Amino acid sequence: MNKKETISSTFGRNIKVTIFGGSHEEKIGCIIEGLPEGAKNFDGERLQQFLDLRAPGNSPFATKRKEPDKFEVESEDPLTLIIRNTNQRSGDYKKLTDIPRPGHADFTARIRYGDDINMAGGGPFSGRMTAPLCIAGGIALQALEKEGIKIGAHLLQVGEVQDRMFNPMAPEIENLGNSVDKNLAVIDADCEEAMASAILAAKDEGDSLGGIVEVAATGIPPGIGGAMYDGLESILAPIYFGIPAVKGIEFGLGFESTKIKGSKNNDSFDIMHGNIITKTNHAGGILGGVTTGMPLIARVAFKPTPSIAKEQQSVNLRTMEREPLTITGRHDPCVAVRAVPVVVAATAIGLLDAWQERIQR
């Protein structure tokens, strides 16, 4: 690999999004191709407000790396938007060049891309790369709202502390995670203190916690998606899994559906105000990869932050000897906290991609 080469990653069918850069490079950004004309006329102020929801340094439960994450339009054709990295401390990672951090992509990245890849701060594998994803998703979110589709998410679980799940028939998505003043985006305010205590306790121990983000979308008409690999789950899943630290996804009842019989899992059909609906929504708004018209419900699981202050065992790749490792620097004690708007963004761009296919048919 050329040392100056910037690693990029592309997803999408009708709308293609390419994310490029690295955590400690000059800039990170995204190229968006195939946007419908109306979506190109986005509200920049609203987009910035959305980006601020995941920006570092705004919460006691997040890394102290303070960056404004102000986006810039670098090019109109193709539409290219960037964020400049301004608060880097690459020295925190200098000693890690030859010692891979457990739980990180350091070892696998070196095998795949060679010794010259810049893995400071996680490089192209860093959670920082979700900022340009939020740019693309924030633009898609505005386009979907014009079609009457709304998306919201909350922190369903941190460690063993769980928030109330969305009502699958009428999810409470209003005002969830829509303010930088709200540290934890939860439905049940009573669980917020328990979540906060669990996160801070893990942080004080030099450790970290994982979590689950639950996302819902309303106003989606029936008929979006397709069979097998054209299905909406198949469109959304790779975008979710592209988010660093994601280890699991489920739609509707998901894994819980394995514990019940088909007679209970099946959503019975009914008619309300001349529209076909289902009496329950165990399917999460998707049957056979195609939307039913009921709310979309999905859950995305995040592993505990691998950068922890506790001593861990590693290997020096230069000397090929075992070596203990203690990680220093600024890290989120629970990445799921700032991942709430990221999951919203991923859902929005995937839905807009599928929506475009519906228009083209």
In this prediction, residue 205 carries a pLDDT of 93
In this prediction, residue 96 carries a pLDDT of 72
pLDDT digits (tens, 9 = 90+) for 142-199: 999 999 999 999 999 999 999 999 999 999 998 665 555 567 999 999 999 999 999 9
For residues 140 and 351, what is the distance between their CA atoms, to the nearest angstrom?
Answer: 8
End-to-end CA distance of the chain: 41
312, β-bridge pairs? 325
In this prediction, residue 2 carries a pLDDT of 47
Question: In the chain, how many domains are there?
Answer: 1
Residue 1 lies in a domain: no
Residue 179 lies in a domain: yes
pLDDT digits (tens, 9 = 90+) for 29-42: 999 999 998 899 99
Task: Give the relative orientation of helices 130-145 and 336-360 as an angle to the nearest 10 degrees.
Answer: 50
Which of these ranges, 19-28, 115-124, 144-153, 294-303, has the smallest mean pLDDT? 115-124
CATH number of residue 62's parent domain: 3.60.150.10
Instruction: Tell me which H or E stretch contains 297.
Output: strand 296-302
Supply angle C-alpha 9, 300, 333, rounded to 5: 90
DSSP 249-279: EEETTGGGGGGS-HHHHS--EEEETTEEEES
Supply angle C-alpha 300, 134, 151, rounded to 5: 60
89: pLDDT strictly greater than 60: no
Residue 165 lies in a domain: yes
pLDDT digits (tens, 9 = 90+) for 247-280: 999 999 999 999 999 999 999 999 999 999 999 9
Of 195, 106, 105, nearest to 155 by C-alpha is 195
Residue 2 lies in a domain: no
Q: What domain range includes position 334?
A: 8-360
Residue 51 lies in a domain: yes
208, 308 Cβ separation under 8 angstroms: yes
Residue 3 lies in a domain: no
pLDDT digits (tens, 9 = 90+) for 326-351: 888 778 899 999 999 999 999 999 99
Residue 261 lies in a domain: yes
Which of these ranges, 118-127, 223-232, 270-279, has the smallest mean pLDDT? 118-127
In this prediction, residue 10 carries a pLDDT of 96
Residue 275 lies in a domain: yes
Q: Provide the whole-model pTM.
A: 0.92
Identify the three-state secondary structure at position 157: strand
Supply angle C-alpha 236, 242, 248, rounded to 5: 70
